[in-house]
Amino acid sequence: MEKMNRKSSAKASIKLSEINYTPVLIALAVVLLTLVILFLWKRKKTVRSAVLFTGLCDSGKTFLFTHLCLGEGRETFTSIKENVGNYRTDKGHELKVVDVPGHERLRGKFFDEYKNIAKAIVYMVDSVTVQKDIRDVADFLYTILADKATSKIPVVVLCNKQDETLAKSETAIKSMLEKEINIVRQTRKSQLQSVDNSSSSETFLGKSMGVEFEFGQIGQRIRFVPCSAKDEKYDGLTTFLETL
């Protein structure tokens, strides 16, 4: 009996030593490598590294971008694609700046493309035409502020073209936008009621529908800064960029 047992255990040990583990080890290595690559890729995608210049057409985004990142003011044309450059702060900190087109058919698409890597948003406003375009200016700002992807990053509403005599001040622009956001909020609510909003990435802005909207009601850091890219007066913006 003991003889038989010894025989069978010898057979088993021979079989185990005969197994070739190389393919199993290769498969494990491949799985592990894929997981590491996926992890790194996802991390890279969500690293917030860019300052996003956005806003309506003609507000001066590309003009300011060329000043800040290329060190010169250039004649600009309506952008159809983004400009990416680097800005070095006074403290020597390098920041990636992305200037995206403001055309109504493009701005939403570009915002969606860059919102997950944005570490701050510069929302550029043409202070001369803001009153005429207030619906669009407020609507796009609402989209940005209500988006969960950007709700934790600071926003600067840069009130450009202050060199023009008809330019509205940053305080006037702020209160104009607060009034208009009440209307935008109402419109969005009715739109959401007519569709399934369970997967919406949009949050409600402000206290409640019955309370007039004020920027102070939202937790996000938002400031209104005057600017004239033409006269190279953008100290408020560069001071903000130092804090990033």
The residues, ordered by sequence, that sit 6+ positions from 107 with a Cβ below 8 Å of its Cβ are 54, 55, 56, 100, 101, 140
Q: Residue 57 annotated as binding?
A: yes
Number of residues this chain uses to bind ligand GTP (CB under 6 A): 21
Task: Name the nearest CA neighbour of 145 among 221, 53, 199.
Answer: 221
* Minimum CB distance to Mg ion, residue 52 (Å): 13
Ranges of beta strands (E only) in 8-76 are 50-55
Lookup: tokens for 78: 């309506």
Distances (CA, A) of 110 to 55, 96, 117, 137, 197: 11, 16, 12, 16, 22
For position 59 contacting Mg ion by CB under 5 A, the verdict is no
| Closest CB to Mg ion among residues 184, 229 | 229
Verify binding: residue 9, ligand GTP, rule CB under 6 A.
no
Per-residue contact flags (x/-) with ligand GTP for residues 138 to 177, judged by CB under 6 A: ----------------------xx-xx-------------
CB of 129 to ligand GTP, least distance (A): 10
Helix (H, G, I), strand (E, B) or coil at 71: coil
DSSP assignment of 138-165: HHHHHHHHHBGGGTTS-EEEEEE-TTST
Interface with Mg ion, residue 79, by CB under 5 A: yes
| Identity of the residue, 53 or 240, whose beta carbon is nearer to ligand GTP in the bound complex | 53
Ranges within 42-81 binding ligand GTP (CB under 6 A): 57-63, 76, 78-79
CA–CA separation, 34 vs 23, rounded Å? 16
- For residue 22, the minimal CB distance to ligand GTP (Å) is 58
Q: Which among Mg ion, ligand GTP, none contacts residue 161 (Cβ within 5 to 8 A by kind)?
A: ligand GTP
Distance CA 49, CA 62 (A): 19
Complete edge-to-edge strand list for the sheet that includes strand 83-88? 83-88, 94-99, 50-55, 118-126, 155-160, 222-226
Write down the least CB distance from residue 38 to ligand GTP, Å.
Answer: 35
Residue 62 in the binding site for Mg ion (CB under 5 A): yes
Quick one: what does residue 63 bind among Mg ion, ligand GTP, none, with the CB cut-off 5 to 8 Å set by partner type?
ligand GTP
Contact 102, 55 (CB under 8 A): yes
Tokens coding 8: 């069978």
Q: Provide the minimum distance between the beta carbon of 230 and ligand GTP in the complex, in angstroms, as a whole number.
A: 3
* Binding-site residues from annotation for GTP: 55-62, 102, 160-163
Summarize as ranges the residues that interact with ligand GTP (CB under 6 A): 57-63, 76, 78-79, 101-103, 124, 160-161, 163-164, 228-230
Instruction: Write out the residues near Mg ion by the rule CB under 5 A.
Output: 61-62, 79
